[in-house]
Amino acid sequence: MSEASRSQRLFFALWPDAGERRQLAALLPVLAQGGGRPVPADNLHLTLAFLGQVTPAQRQCMEAWADTLNPPPLELILDRLEHWPGPRIAWLGPSAWPEALDVLAASLAEGMRQCGLQPDTRPYTPHVTLLRKAPGLPAVPTGLPVPWRTRSFVLCESRSDGDGVVYRVLRRWDA
Ligand code: ATP
Ligand code: MG
């Protein structure tokens, strides 16, 4: 197989555990009442670094880089509901967050440069996408804020199947 055919679309993320995922998923039906397509509950996540399409060598390089990072304990309070008109998504994120989260995202971005990948140049805004094709800011549902404590991050593969995108956790780094 050629390098190109073995390439994968990857990203690093914080991955909610079952309880947090349930709390986030519970918001979806109410949010979607104003229009938009809820993200499937199994797909809910917070991206740390989007790698895009990478070769096996680049994946190995990024995994080796991640091995050198200590996953920080993070306590997030997801209390900020926003709508981005450009990508037409509605998302939930923290209005303030620990510096350790910025440090982790920046460390992964630095790893991308070291591994020959181009990180996103926009300022890092931690968010969990809840609705796609969202026409505007949804009404604030009950069930906010959602607290999220984590001591790990994951590497995920993104694949599109017939009717949407499917994510698979490839590896987890625990504190
Ligand atoms: P789809 O693109 O099919 O609508 P998706 O955006 O959920 O689905 P991916 O495009 O594979 O799936 O993206 C995986 C994750 O990386 C998502 O959280 C997405 O928001 C984020 N992401 C995608 N592209 C970028 C980018 N250029 N910069 C930063 N983050 C990105
Ligand atoms: Mg996308």
Q: What is the pLDDT of residues 117-166, one digit of tens each?
A: 999 999 999 999 999 999 999 999 899 999 999 999 999 999 998 889 99
**Active site annotation includes 127:** yes
**Which residue is closest in CA terms to ligand 1's atom 24?**
50
Work out which ligand 1 atom sits closest to the CA atom of 165: 3
Residues linked to residue 167 through DSSP beta bridges, in sequence order: 158
pLDDT in tens, 27-86: 999 999 999 999 999 999 999 999 999 999 999 999 999 999 999 999 999 999 999 999
* Sequence ranges of the domains in the chain: 14-174
Q: What is the pLDDT of residue 115?
A: 98
Whether residue 120 has its Cβ less than 6 Å from ligand 1: yes
Q: 45, 47, 78, 117: which is the annotated catalytic residue? A: 45
pTM over 0.75: yes
**Active site annotation includes 83:** no
Q: Which residues touch 60 (CB under 8 Å, ≥6 apart)?
A: none
What b/e sequence results for 152-163 when a residue is b if at least 16 CB atoms lie within 10 Å of its CB, and e otherwise?
ebbbbebeeeee
**Looking at the CA of 52, which ligand is closest?**
1
Q: What is the pLDDT of residue 1?
A: 72
Per CATH, the homologous superfamily of domain 14-174 is Cyclic phosphodiesterase (3.90.1140.10)
- Ligand 1 centroid, distance to 129 Cα (angstroms): 10
**Which residue is closest in CA terms to ligand 1's atom 31?**
50
- Ligand 2 centroid, distance to 157 Cα (angstroms): 12
Neighbour tally for 128: CB within 10 Å: 24
